[in-house]
Amino acid sequence: MSPLRLSAELVTAVRRVLPQGGTSYPLHEPLFGGKEWDYVKSCLDSGWVSSAGAFVGRFEQQICEVTGSEEAIATVNGTAALHLCLLAAGVRPGDEVIVPALTFVATANAVSYCGATPHFADSAETTLGLDPKRLAEHLATVGERRDGSLHNKTNGRRIAAVVVTHVLGHPADLDPLLSLCREQRLPLIEDAAEALGSTYKSRHVGRHGLLAALSFNGNKVLTTGGGGAVITDDEALAERVRHLSTTAKQPHAWRYDHDAVGYNYRMPNINAALGCAQLEQLSGLLHAKRALAARYASALAEVEGLRCVTEPAFARSNYWLNAVLIDAGDTGVRDELLKALHAEGILARPAWTLMHRLPAYAEAPRADLEVAKDIERRLICLPSSASLA
Ligand SMILES: *Cc1c(COP(=O)(O)O)cnc(C)c1O
């Protein structure tokens, strides 16, 4: 099909899904339909707005209930949560960390904040997440075991961890990744920033690896304004994360003693208040997002030349962002479609620019990224706010 015809058909199908009469459809907007005003007001009334207060603990408890995790530590954002996960997993300056090339830049940046270097790996078209088989092949080629650790034999650096991103909310294939990590004795960290409410084989994502990061930024499934959380089942790691997130201050009634370089990464009470109200509505939000995904799927089934990205068979996705993959796309066709959608106020977006193309990461080590490059050329994300359902 010609790009012109394809873009006309895509616009028509998307228009059928979106509520009539709108002039602009952003990619993802928050929805405040519960006790947000009450809870935020109670922070202002009590004076507890900052890094202590009852809503923080309550929010963490709710996160544990929703995910099934033993521990949750609320943070200022998802990037800080990722940074803390990497530190707690033992990533040190000079290390390398395996990260997908197809991810949001925060995943790679968190590695850099540790003084380590991201080492980019390829993705699978079925999940958009790290491809376990291709990663195993890559590690077999570049890795060598020395002094009990895996090293990159091309530069001698230790490979200290693997980070998997659940892209657009769709769970990556975790079991084979976990076997690979066990075999290579590498901790697996889950970037579940986009995946609150998604499960892999009936268990919430973020509960398969050693630690995971969640995000509650304004564009995510639910929001605390800015915010994130680390989840883990390991009590000692949770203790470490909590300590590092509060300037590594030793508990004492009046002394200021800090036993490490810590961070000011704790979520403020006012953000947690918003989060408590939002979490109370999670099941409704997830329901709305599935309904929207189903409507996109039926409307787009009639468009030849592209297909919807759907949850993998082993997973239940939160459908954070609905997306299509163009069958035979190049960036020219993709950009034609984006232009046509934007002309109608449909603020669709391409995939992230792959990490190795960013100036900060041009020199970083990488595997063959054939599949990620193909996805990058063919993916378009569509407006996905829960309010659209
Ligand atoms: C949003 C996001 C982050 C970062 O979360 P912030 O709260 O914005 O810092 C990290 N990784 C992925 C994949 C994300 O989508």
Q: Is residue 100 in contact with ligand 1, taking CB distance under 6 Å?
A: no
Q: In the prediction, which pLDDT does 1 show?
A: 74
Q: In the prediction, which pLDDT does 53 show?
A: 86
Q: Is the pLDDT of residue 184 over 80?
A: yes
Average pLDDT, integer, range 342-358: 97
Q: Is the pLDDT of residue 204 over 90?
A: yes
% residues pLDDT > 70 (the chain): 100
**379-382 and 322-326: which strand pairing?**
antiparallel
The 3-state DSSP class for residue 341 equals: helix
* pLDDT mean across residues, the chain: 97
Q: Is residue 223 in contact with ligand 1, taking CB distance under 6 Å?
A: no
Q: In the prediction, which pLDDT does 21 show?
A: 87
* Exposure letters 138-152 (e unless 16+ CB within 10 A, then b): bbeebbeeeeeebbb
To which residue do tokens 């199908």 refer? 13
Q: Is the pLDDT of residue 162 over 80?
A: yes
Q: Is the pLDDT of residue 48 over 90?
A: no
Q: Is residue 96 in contact with ligand 1, taking CB distance under 6 Å?
A: no
How many Å lie between the centroid of ligand 1 and the Cα of residue 105? Answer: 8
How many Å lie between the centroid of ligand 1 and the Cα of residue 165? Answer: 10
Q: In the prediction, which pLDDT does 52 show?
A: 80
Q: Is residue 217 in contact with ligand 1, taking CB distance under 6 Å?
A: yes
Q: Is residue 78 in contact with ligand 1, taking CB distance under 6 Å?
A: yes
pLDDT tens digits for range 9-47: 999 999 999 999 889 999 999 999 999 999 999 999 998
Q: In the prediction, which pLDDT does 314 show?
A: 95
Q: Is the pLDDT of residue 244 over 90?
A: yes
Q: In the prediction, which pLDDT does 215 show?
A: 98
Average pLDDT, integer, range 219-246: 98
Query: Residue 328: pLDDT band by 50, 70, 90 thresholds?
Result: confident
Long-range contacts of 284-287 (CB under 8 A, 24+ apart): 284/33, 284/386, 285/31, 285/197, 285/221, 285/222, 285/386, 286/197, 286/221, 286/318
Q: Is residue 199 in contact with ligand 1, taking CB distance under 6 Å?
A: no
Q: Is residue 336 in contact with ligand 1, taking CB distance under 6 Å?
A: no
How many Å lie between the centroid of ligand 1 and the Cα of residue 75? Answer: 12
The tokens of 56 are what? Answer: 């923080």
Whole-angstrom Cα distance, residue 79 to residue 227?
Answer: 9
